[in-house]
Structures are given as C-alpha cells and as structure tokens.
C-alpha cells in the first residue's frame, strides 16, 4: 500500500519533470537561433545609433586621418598596426589593379604607374565598419568585445584574453593585437572623444570632409540626408556583416 503511494508519487514527479525538461528543451531550441545568430539591435531610443560615411570622391590621400588616429589612440607607429589607413587603387588600361598603402598612407602617396597607363585611380580610406552583425563580436569567447548601446564595436582591454579569434573573423582586416598591451585593438570611433562632444580624430583632421559620422536614427541628421541623396555601398555585402560604414562612389575593385 505505502509502496504504491511512493510509486505513484514518483511517477507523478517523473512525469512533471519530463514535461518541464521537455518544455525547456523545446524553448531553448526555438530560442537557440538567437544565440547563434549574432546581431546588435538599437535598444535604447534615447541613445544615438552611429553610422559612418566615407566619400571616396573627396579623399585626396593625404594620410592625415591615419596619422591623427595613431597619435590620438597611442597606436604603435610601426607600419603593422592601424586602426584606420588609406589605400591607393590604380586600375591600369590592361585591367590589372595595383593597390598600395605604404605606411598606411601616413606619409602620403606617390603614383608609381605612369599617367598614360592609368585607366583610373582613387583612394579608399579604411576603418572599422562598426557592423551591427559583427563577425568579431560573434566569435569573442568571453565577451571582451561588444557592441556598445550606441552601436560602436568596442574592446574591453581588461577582459580580453588575446586569443585573436576576432582578428581572424574580421573580413576587413581592421583588428590587430596591440604589441604592448597584448590585447585586441581596433577603431573605437574615438569613443572617448565623441563622448566629450568632439569629432573622432580622423574626421577632425580630414581636410576635405571625406568622412562623416552621425546618428542613423535621427532622420534629420546630416548622415541620413547624405545617405538619402547618394548611392552608397558597404564593403563585402555578401558576408552580411551589417556594416554601418557606407562608402559613396565606391568602385567595384575595392574589397
């Protein structure tokens, strides 16, 4: 008799335990795609959601941006570490493309191809795309790199373990391991400056106003107006990184 009671209560317990774990499993399966697919959402409507525009047509390749970035962010001066740099593309008449970026463009450029062989030539400044679906944030094993509530991809230098997985995951080559701090390092859109109301160093020093950043959520901002009036393009759209760096007048040779 007593045994029966224990048995039935045990059965009851097992039943409810099974239902509960089944429900949890089902729920987590449904939810799991959210854990696998990484995407930052603009959550707080009071905060800006930053995007960047680079107008390739305006860039004169003076390298002021790359230089200012190194000064502002204490990036080692050696030519292997850049948060932003400028590339010079030269498409020749025979269709071949020559790309160069000596010292990231900091010392300016010289055109090595004679004028008569040039089909077209242009500069492309590069920097972090502050992707909304950043591959680098997706792969960070410990949460040491993240999208700030304003949509800026930042690194937590006190928490980074230096596994370099994020460097591998960035399709734009915008990350590196800081040789002194021994942690991942990248463009922060000069987070410390924009928080004080100053423009990022690269934009402060650009002589032609080729770079611009602003609040994508504010429909009256300059950047939204620019995006409305121009045909812009992001880099490597096939990778679906949700890049928020929009290039105006980008040529198809650029990757």
Partner 1 sequence: MKFYVPPQLKRLAIAFAVFIVLFLVLRKFLVPDSFGQYGHYRGDSLADNALPEIHYAGQQACLDCHQDIEDLKAKDVHARIHCETCHGPGQKHVLSGEASDILKPDSREFCGNCHGKNAAKKPGTIVQVQLSEHNTDKKCIECHNPHQPWEMKE
Partner 2 sequence: MESSYPHLYEILSHIQGYIFPNEIDLQWGILIVVYPFITGLVAGAFILASLERVFKDKVLKPTYQIALLTALSFLLVATMPLISHLAQPQRAYEIMITPHSSSAMAIFGFVYLWYLMVVLLLEIWFDYRHSMVVWAEEKKGIMKWVYRILTLGLNDISPRTVSWDRKLGYIITVVGIPSAFILHGYVGFIFGSIKANPWWSTPLMPIIFLFSAMVSGIAMVMLIYMAVSYIRTRTLDVNVLDAIGKYLFFVLILDFTIEGLDQIHRIYVAEESFETIKLLVEGKLYLTLFISQGLIGTLIPLGVLAFLQFYKGKIKLRKTLYFITGIMVLIGVYSMRWNVVIGGQLFSKSFSGFTSFKVGLIGIDGTLMAIFWLLLPFGILTFLLWLLPPWKMVPEVEE
81 sits near partner 1 (criterion: CB under 8 A): no
Minimum distance, C-beta of residue 203 to partner 2, in the bound complex (Å): 20
239 burial (CB, 10 Å; 0-12 / 13-18 / 19+) is middle
Minimum distance, C-beta of residue 179 to partner 2, in the bound complex (Å): 7
Minimum distance, C-beta of residue 105 to ligand HEC, in the bound complex (Å): 12
Number of residues that bind partner 1 (CB under 8 A): 57
Q: Which helix (H) or strand (E) holds 79?
A: none
Q: Are 109 and 102 in contact (CB under 8 A)?
A: yes
Number of residues that bind ligand HEC (CB under 6 A): 4
Other CB atoms within 10 Å distance of the CB of residue 135:
19
Q: Are 101 and 230 in contact (CB under 8 A)?
A: no
CA angle in degrees (0–180, nearest 5) for 87-210-202: 75
The listed partner (partner 1, partner 2, ligand HEC, none) that binds 73, CB under 5 to 8 Å by sort, is partner 1
CA angle in degrees (0–180, nearest 5) for 103-104-107: 60
- Residue with smaller CB distance to ligand HEC, 60 or 224: 60
Q: Which of 214, 225, 242, 173 is nearest to 52 (CA)?
A: 214
The listed partner (partner 1, partner 2, ligand HEC, none) that binds 72, CB under 5 to 8 Å by sort, is partner 1
CA angle in degrees (0–180, nearest 5) for 214-186-39: 65
207 sits near ligand HEC (criterion: CB under 6 A): yes
- What CA–CA distance (Å, rounded) separates 87 from 99? 7
71 sits near ligand HEC (criterion: CB under 6 A): no
Minimum distance, C-beta of residue 102 to partner 2, in the bound complex (Å): 9
138 sits near partner 2 (criterion: CB under 8 A): yes
64 sits near ligand HEC (criterion: CB under 6 A): yes
Contacts with partner 1 in 143-182 (CB under 8 A)?
143-149, 154-159
Q: Are 87 and 252 in contact (CB under 8 A)?
A: no
Contact residues: ligand HEC, CB under 6 A: 62, 64, 207-208
Binding residues (CB under 8 A) for partner 2: these are 35-38, 77-82, 85, 87, 97-101, 104, 126, 135, 138-144, 159-165, 167-177, 179, 182-183, 238-239, 255
């Amino acid at each position: 008799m007593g045994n029966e009671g224990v048995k039935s209560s045990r059965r009851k317990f097992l039943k409810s335990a099974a239902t509960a774990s089944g429900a949890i499993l089902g729920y987590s399966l449904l939810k799991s795609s959210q854990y696998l697919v990484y995407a930052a959402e603009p959550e707080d409507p009071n905060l800006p959601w930053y995007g960047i525009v680079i107008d390739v047509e305006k860039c004169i390749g003076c390298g002021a941006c790359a230089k200012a970035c190194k000064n502002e962010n204490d990036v080692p001066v050696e030519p292997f570490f850049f948060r932003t740099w400028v590339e010079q593309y030269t498409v020749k008449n025979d269709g071949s493309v020559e790309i160069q970026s000596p010292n990231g463009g900091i010392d300016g450029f010289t055109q090595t191809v004679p004028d008569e062989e040039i089909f077209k030539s242009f500069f492309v400044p590069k920097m972090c795309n502050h992707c909304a679906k950043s591959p680098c944030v997706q792969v960070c094993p410990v949460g040491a790199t993240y999208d700030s509530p304003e949509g800026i991809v930042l690194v937590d230098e006190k928490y980074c373990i230096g596994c370099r997985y994020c460097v591998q995951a960035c399709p734009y080559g915008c990350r590196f391991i800081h040789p002194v701090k021994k942690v991942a390092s990248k463009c922060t859109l000069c987070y410390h400056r924009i928080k004080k109301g100053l423009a990022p160093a690269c934009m402060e020093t650009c002589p032609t106003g080729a770079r611009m950043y602003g609040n994508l959520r504010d429909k009256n901002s300059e950047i939204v107006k620019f995006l409305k009036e121009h045909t812009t393009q992001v880099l490597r759209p096939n990778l679906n990184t949700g890049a928020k760096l929009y290039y105006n007048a980008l040529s198809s040779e650029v990757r």
